[in-house]
Amino acid sequence: MSVSLRSYRSWDIQLMGASATIAIAGLIAMASATSTLNPDLAVRHSVYAAVGLLIFVAASRTNYHRWTDLAAAIYGVGLLLLLAVLTVGTMRLGATRWLSVFGVSLQPSEFAKFSVVLLLTHYLAGQPRPLPARAVLISAGFAGLPAMLVFNQPDLGSATLLAAIWMAMAWVAGLSRRWCFSLGGGLCAALPLAWHVLKDYQRDRLAAFIDPHADPLGAGYTIIQSTIAIGSGQWWGRGWFCGTQNQLNFLPERHSDFIFSVIGEEWGFLGCAVVIAAFVMLLFSVVRIAMETSEPQGRLLATGIGCWIAYQAFVNMGMVMGLLPVVGVPLPLVSYGGSSMVMLWLMLGLAQSVRRASRE
């Protein structure tokens, strides 16, 4: 009985409940978003969610150290997949981000996020505090190399996410304030130069963020339709399958990056508030796991997972509401995409593994 009770207490009910709420909201929204696009996508999304849930259970029952011990090998595989995209990748919507393996589409950038979190966990956990300059530069290189390959696809959103993950994990590992100020100053100085390395469509998106109505049928179209959809939902929403922007095909990419717009239109402020609250609960759970464990690898792993989810959720919801530029970041556990779904459930399983280890 005591073993059974201890096993029960090792499960983070809040983490699982919040994750399930987000995933269920995604399934409901996906059914509507794909009804006039391709209903098979909703079926596939359900399969991805089911597979991800099984992986979550399996990962939560393993020792997370087994994964971090394989970090270098997993990182190497991630780099090879990103390099393969350069030569045999599949192009969609002007970007080459996918690999087709036996008819199954894979997005290596999602695996790269996973591999970077694992490698940074393994490396930074063994470094002294505060982090010496050598450790800062090496760890930055671990995140920077795949970030450059991802940026070249081009995928600005995932590239900046990798940078955010490194910053959060390095801070928890002991990055000094001097380094933080130096990096912040260098970033500010590089921003004017960054404009010149962006693709034309990325510049158009940034310009559309400032004034979407300057090109209402071009770069600003998606933002305009997205804000119309969210605003038309008002307090209670138009109802399931009743969103005009969604059902009449005015809203592009409504099953992937802009699925939060579907939630806002059909379920209104209430539906958006429920999803946001679920993300806050999920992030609180992951942060609590990081704070409760005294083991360096567990703390760093939970930090990387929390930053991954927080960054993507914040940027995605910000861009669909017109508060941030469009950078092509999916909403975790909600947007369509098997690679993203499986990797996120795997990482949540590892977060649960960290909690279980800290309670035993």
What digits encode the pLDDT tens for the residues 61-116? 999 999 999 999 999 999 999 999 888 877 776 677 878 777 778 899 999 999 99
For residue 236, the one-letter residue type is W
Q: In what order do the strands lie in the sheet with 104-106?
A: 90-92, 95-101, 104-106
Separation of alpha carbons 236 and 243, rounded Å: 12
Give me the half-sphere count of Cα atoms (radius 13 Å) on the Cβ side of residue 142.
29
Out of 91-95, 125-129, 144-148, pick the least confident. Answer: 91-95
Give the helix/strand (H/E) hosting 98.
strand 95-101
**In this prediction, what percent of the chain has a pLDDT beyond 70?**
93
Cβ pair 336, 256 in contact under 8 A? yes
Pick from 140, 172, 180: nearest CA to 296: 172
Instruction: Give the pLDDT band (50/70/90) at residue 3.
Output: very low
| Residue position matching structure tokens 């109505």 | 213
Cβ pair 118, 74 in contact under 8 A? yes
Inform me whether the pLDDT recorded for 323 exceeds 80.
yes
pLDDT tens readout for residues 230-243: 989 899 999 998 88
- For the segment 175-196, the average pLDDT, to the nearest whole number, is 77
Query: Hey, what are 3's tokens?
Result: 């073993």
Give me the half-sphere count of Cα atoms (radius 13 Å) on the Cβ side of residue 116.
37
- For the segment 192-197, the average pLDDT, to the nearest whole number, is 68
**In this prediction, what percent of the chain has a pLDDT beyond 90?**
60
Inform me whether the pLDDT recorded for 1 exceeds 50.
no
- For the segment 143-163, the average pLDDT, to the nearest whole number, is 90
- For the segment 143-150, the average pLDDT, to the nearest whole number, is 94
For residue 274, the one-letter residue type is V
